[in-house]
Amino acid sequence: MRIGIIGGGTIARMFVEHIRRGDLGRARVVAIAGRNERSRGRDIAKSYRVPFVVGAKALLAKKPEVVVEAASHDAVREYGEALLKKGVALIVLSCGALCDDTLRGKLERAAERSGALLSVPSGGIGGLDALKAACVAGVEEVTIAVTKPPAAWKGIPYVERLEIDLDRLRGPHVLFEGAAREGVPHFPANVNIAAVLSMAGIGFDKTRLKVVADPALKYNTHYIDVRGRTGRFSIKLENVPAPENPKTAWLACYSALAALKAVKSPVRYGT
């Protein structure tokens, strides 16, 4: 399998490392794509002796079969449609970008027309198998509470506008509560899990999102509750954050690797 990676951060580095170790069999990285010539991806590419490129055209020239987007909402907009149109499978991690119905429609149509796979892994959450099954029967309520230590919420313009001193919180503080449609765009690098939950379930308008900064937390902790005709279920996830990036959980990195493994597998266990 010829793999392209967009991004040069926590997930991109982990990916290249696993592929280099042979964890994905004969898969190899054919290019790492960055935002510009000075991007961090260039250093990763150099240290793993992989070509570094900028832009969809240059990435396509390296003839990837599958591209893993591990960069940003902008990257989904810049690369997504161009890759799918050319029949390249795309695994999207910055899936909050797909809260934009126009963009999601373009990607879905490009995938339909070319036959390429558009895959959004479950990232830092689970239970999407049960949710999808329950939705066939009918689901009335899906809620997700995304709670992380205060450090994970720093540097976000929406949070800065709230004028909260994240270093001095004494207890849990709710940063947002409402529809995923409204909340997801406020936190571009932090609540992608609410986006994949919405897309696998009852959509961005009906899925309820609560975002909390909690100084007592060691792990990124998420609570999901689903109620519908088949019954109810509740899930709690306590995710170990990546040491260099408190916004990203290890589980999310490994979910992308698992999605990549599934691309060519003729057998599927679980919905």
Ligand X SMILES: NC(=O)c1ccc[n+]([C@@H]2O[C@H](COP(=O)([O-])OP(=O)(O)OC[C@H]3O[C@@H](n4cnc5c(N)ncnc54)[C@H](O)[C@@H]3O)[C@@H](O)[C@H]2O)c1
Residues that bind ligand X (CB under 6 A): 6-12, 33-35, 39-41, 70-72, 74-75, 78, 93-95, 123-124, 189, 192-193, 196, 245, 248, 252
How many helical (H) and strand (E) elements, i.e. helices and strands, does the chain have?
A: 10, 13
Cβ neighbours around 269 below 10 Å, total: 7
Shortest distance (Å) from residue 105 CB to ligand X: 20
Shortest distance (Å) from residue 96 CB to ligand X: 7
Whose Cβ is closer to ligand X: residue 7's or residue 228's?
7
Is the Cβ–Cβ distance between 5 and 16 less than 8 Å? Answer: yes
Query: And the tokens for 177?
Result: 């509560």
Shortest distance (Å) from residue 266 CB to ligand X: 26
Whose Cβ is closer to ligand X: residue 72's or residue 147's?
72
* In the complex, residue closest to ligand X by CB: 9
Whose Cβ is closer to ligand X: residue 27's or residue 32's?
32
- Selected catalytic residue, list 18, 73, 173, 222: 222
Whose Cβ is closer to ligand X: residue 175's or residue 228's?
175
Q: How many CA atoms lie within 13 A of 95 on its CB side?
A: 25
DSSP string of 107-128, one letter each residue: HHHHHHHH---EE---TT---H
CA distances from 207 to 36, 58, 102, 203, 204 (A): 36, 38, 19, 6, 5
3-class DSSP assignment, residue 130:
helix
Shortest distance (Å) from residue 196 CB to ligand X: 6
Q: How far is the C-alpha of 198 from the C-alpha of 208, rounded, in Å?
A: 9
Give CA 161 to chain center in angstroms. Answer: 25
Verify whether residue 222 is a known catalytic residue: yes
Catalytic annotation, residues: 222
